[in-house]
Structure 1
Amino acid sequence: MTTRFDRYAGIVFLAIGTAFMIGSRSISTSAYGSNVGANIFPMILGAFLALMSIRLIYETFRKQKTESYKENLDYQRFGIIFTAAVLYALFLENIGFVISTFLFLMIGFQTMQRGRVWVSLVISAAFSCGVYYLYVHVLDGSLPGFPAWLSF
């Protein structure tokens, strides 16, 4: 992409991240059966998006090149990851957070870079189990667990 597009995208994402942080302040601070309120996750995501946008804007001012080149768009990879994201959202409640996140990450990693399956397996498993453990056991939040047919 061009630095001009990156700069405008950074400004738009900075506005979206700020809106997420402001909007999350009006969400309930506690949830039934959870010590972590529903406002925490949008607040953290908004702050992360805003910080990454500031970084992107900074990088566009550092690199003032005006390269005009045609970039080939990869519709097949986009379609695979978009379909995986939709399926992730549809099956999150049915198969649970850990399994659905693991499968989504595996599909994403293998779509972006074929091979290195063991590395993708380890990262996907560690991330999905780690986030579940941190959110459910450390922060006392609630996420969909394992499905009933797979009870441990």
Structure 2
Amino acid sequence: MNTLFDRYAGIVFLAIGTAFVIGSKSISTSAYGSNVGANIFPMILGAFLALMSLRLIYDTFRRQKAEKYKENLDYKRFGIIFTAAVLYALFLEDIGFVISTFLFLMIGFQTMQKGKVWVSLLISAVFSCGVYYMYVDLLDGSLPGFPSWLGF
């Protein structure tokens, strides 16, 4: 790992996470037909990102060894996951939360570690359906459902 890069990345992600938490305060706390407001997910995700960034910054200061090699950055994997994230955001409303999250996770898992397709399928399906069920049914929130052409 590149300690200097990790430290700067941690600082940038800490700022982004803090901005998400602060920005979520200006989003309405309730939505039509939902007991959970639109501000909950950005606030939780921003706080999680900020906490993980603090951990990364702490770890960079804790490392005592100087690195003797330069790590090559993997631009191909970054490009694939970045493109998948942009497509996920673009098609979330059109194809629904469950399908778009499932596809995004499958692409991410297979990009990071090729093989183990069945494990990736299982984790992606359980996570996307589980989050949808917990948020929509248990918390009475609203997420884009399945597309109408599927008949659900």
User: TM-score when scaled to structure 2?
Assistant: 0.92
Aligned counterparts, 1:3-152, within 5 A: 3-152=3-152
**Alpha-carbon distance, 1:68 to partner:** 4.5
Alpha carbons of structure 1 residues 3 and 72: separation in structure 2 relative to 1, 3 Å: closer
Is the contact made by 1:28 and 1:37 (CA closer than 8 Å) also made in structure 2?
Answer: yes
Give unpaired runs (5+ residues) of structure 2: none
Is the contact made by 2:20 and 2:46 (CA closer than 8 Å) also made in structure 1?
Answer: yes
28-37 or 66-75, larger mean C-alpha shift:
66-75
Alpha carbons of structure 1 residues 130 and 53: separation in structure 2 relative to 1, 3 Å: same
Alpha carbons of structure 1 residues 111 and 52: separation in structure 2 relative to 1, 3 Å: same
76-85 or 132-141, larger mean C-alpha shift:
76-85
CA distance in 1, matches of 2:55, 2:86: 29
CA distance in 2, matches of 1:76, 1:61: 29
Alpha carbons of structure 1 residues 134 and 148: separation in structure 2 relative to 1, 3 Å: same
Task: Render the CA deviation track for 1:58-115: whole Å, top value 9, x for unaligned.
Answer: 1112112221522222222222222222222222111111111111111111111111
Matched residue type, 1:102: F
Alpha carbons of structure 1 residues 9 and 83: separation in structure 2 relative to 1, 3 Å: closer
Runs of 4+ in 1 over 4 A off after TM superposition: none
CA distance in 2, matches of 1:64, 1:5: 15
**Alpha-carbon distance, 1:7 to partner:** 1.9
Task: Render the CA deviation track for 1:10-60: whole Å, top value 9, x for unaligned.
Answer: 222222222221221121111111111111111101110111011111111
Give unpaired runs (5+ residues) of structure 1: none
CA distance in 2, matches of 1:145, 1:118: 25
Is the contact made by 1:30 and 1:37 (CA closer than 8 Å) also made in structure 2?
Answer: yes
Q: Report the number of matched residues.
A: 152
Matched residue type, 1:134: M
Is the contact made by 2:28 and 2:38 (CA closer than 8 Å) also made in structure 1?
Answer: yes
Task: Give secondary structure in 1 for the equivalent of 2:89.
Answer: helix
